[in-house]
A and B are shown apart, each in its own frame.
Chain A
Amino acid sequence: MEAILRLEKVSKAFGTQQVLEAFDLSVEEGEFVTLLGPSGCGKTTVLNLVAGFLRPDSGTIYLRGKPVNDVITRKRQLGMVFQTWALFPHMNAFDNVAFGLRMQRKPKEQIEKKVREMLDLVRMPSVSEKYPSQLSGGMRQRIALARGLAVEPSILLLDEPLSNLDAALRKEMQVELKRIHDQLRVTTVFVTHSQEEALVMSDRIAVMKGGKIIRIDVPSELYHDPRSKFVCTFLGDANLFEGKVIEVSGSTAKVQSGDLVLKALLRAPVSPGSALSLAVRPERVSVQREASLSADNSIKARIKEMVFTGNSITYYLDAAGRELVALEYQKAAQAIPERGTEVVAEFDAKAFSILEAE
């Protein structure tokens, strides 16, 4: 299938600062792709290039198979929701949503019908007479989304639209955006620096750093098999171990990391003596009073700090000077060990992700 959006070797610099270099990205029809990265990684620049607000210095952008470098913004048939939502304050909600259709000189009845449909879609059917200043942040967000979708864009661009909302509303809108995407199947490119938003909504996540995509994959793959240290630490928390392979038997390796010997399941063959970076997610580590025989790895530690968040407890452990983080979900009410308790942190050999050297 032909990708609906494709960026090929796109470069962009602002003055002397190279923001994107030979950037490639391909998005399939109907996909929800997230560009995730820290601020300054170039993710918003990608969006501005696709929208046509910026011109690439070199490389080509294809929309529906056609190069669009020389096509002006308004001819690209896109929809966009901005970080500040950028509603037109002098127009009421109805006129805001109708704006794109009016620019296309659609007949009046058709505009009326489409706007009602969009306001229903974002569950704001009764605010059409209200001006943006009379609406709450969450409502403005929904109207901005309705406005972007009303023109039936071939691609919907979302530029951190949730970052101006409070935490509870953000959660609600994540689910809402996902519902709307599932309903309309409109190709969506979403830019965010929030790993949570990316994991919740995306079909695929492109993790970006320094103007490059480090890796692009489905959320679960990225989370469970991050492969690089950057992806591993940017998407969730992790305990990292640097070490040297001392013994390989079948698909398990013994790795010496400091004074610890760890057993890790291998996905690719390694030779003894080579360096290896390992990561294990906090929720894969269990905190036990006494060592059990079945665990592949058990590390003696002392509880340094713990954070109780209702459904889970995060333990910060001190294992002979090394910090370990463990997260346990509270499936039943249980006694919480005290600070300073000597415990054993345990996890399986297959809990490890093996990271590539950077």
Chain B
Amino acid sequence: MERESRILPRLVFKTQWLILLSPGVLLLFLFFLFPMLELVRMSFMQYDRFTLYKAIFTWENYGKFFSDPFFVQMVFNSLKVGAYTTFFSLLIGYPVAYYLTRVRGIERTILSAACLLPIFVTILVTTLGWYIILLPFGIVQKLLVLLGIHRGPLRWLQSFWALIAVLVHLHIPYVVLILAASIQDVSDEKVNAARILGASTFRVFQKVVIPLTVPGIVSSAILVFADAVSSYLVPILITGTKISLLPISIFSYTTDLLNWPFGSTIAMLLLVIVLIATYVFTAVTNRMTGRGKWEMV
């Protein structure tokens, strides 16, 4: 009797939640899960010049991808872009985020605004700014010529590192905001406790602050990596097609070459790469910091 009276309200409660969840679930199914499954299916179809694809199951798209060193190099390039962007965004963003959580008043307002504003400006506008600066015969080059420092076009203006610089610049605000939320949880008292027990500033960060902010580091790293690896607009504007990257290739296969099966294959591989990288990064950091065993107090 008593059991019944407890279970019944719980069931009603659950149904209520399911009803409330259904619009979201439906939306995700229609516009996320369904196209994803379609993508998986398409990547195993045979390309056909006249009908886009033939509904014949084949491994040939994947075979083509892995047998061509050009595509393997492309995967490597994309991974490099993702890894460097993540590394430098965190390296630059972490001290900023730490500082942001330790200042008060007007300084904090200004710093927060400086971090938020770039997010409101669309990537296109921000990147165009860089584009104009880095263009051959653009501002930087003209200035160098004017000062007599350098003549002729500068190769590094549209190089790999310029791309990384722009991507890092674009992602720092996100990193700072995510990390700040995490660093906020590490009280001044914890930092002071470590200091009074004899820890140098380096040790305070190594032993206390960084291990405690691993959740923030992991989530911002995943965000930046996934976003940088799949970014299309920035590389197309900064390096053009000089550096072959997965998103650029996906775009050109699906729109210019109208080879949807192969475009889908590259897209699938990009997805798998992001998933694997995310998993590996999370697993390694969790193991290193013993996360899951402890809770924040």
Contact = CB atoms under 8 A, between A and B. Distances in A.
Interface residues of A, number: 29
B192 A82 contact: yes
Contacts of B196: 51-52, 73-74, 76, 78-80, 157
A87 B197 CA distance: 12
Contacts of B296: 89, 133
A218 interface: no
Please tell me the size bucket of the interface on B.
Answer: 20 to 34
A140 B294 contact: no
A90 B289 contact: yes
A89 B198 contact: no
B208 A88 contact: yes
A131 interface: yes
Nearest to B190: A86
A84 B190 CA distance: 9
Contact of B193 (A82, A90, A104, A140): A82
Given A89-B294, A131-B294, A74 B192 contact: no
Interface string A57-86: 000000000000000011010111011101
Contact of A84 (B187, B203, B293): B187
B200 A74 contact: yes
Given A74-B198, A103-B198, A86 B294 contact: no
B217 to A, nearest CB: 13
B107 to A, nearest CB: 13
A89 B212 contact: yes
B193 A73 contact: no
Contact of B199 (A52, A74, A80, A132): A74
29 contacts: A52-B196, A73-B196, A74-B195, A74-B196, A74-B197, A74-B198, A78-B196, A80-B193, A86-B189, A87-B193, A88-B212, A89-B212, A89-B295, A89-B296, A89-B297, A90-B289, A90-B291, A90-B294, A91-B294, A99-B197, A99-B207, A100-B197, A100-B198, A103-B197, A103-B203, A131-B293, A131-B295, A133-B295, A147-B197
Interface of B: 187, 189-190, 192-200, 203, 207-208, 211-212, 289-291, 293-297
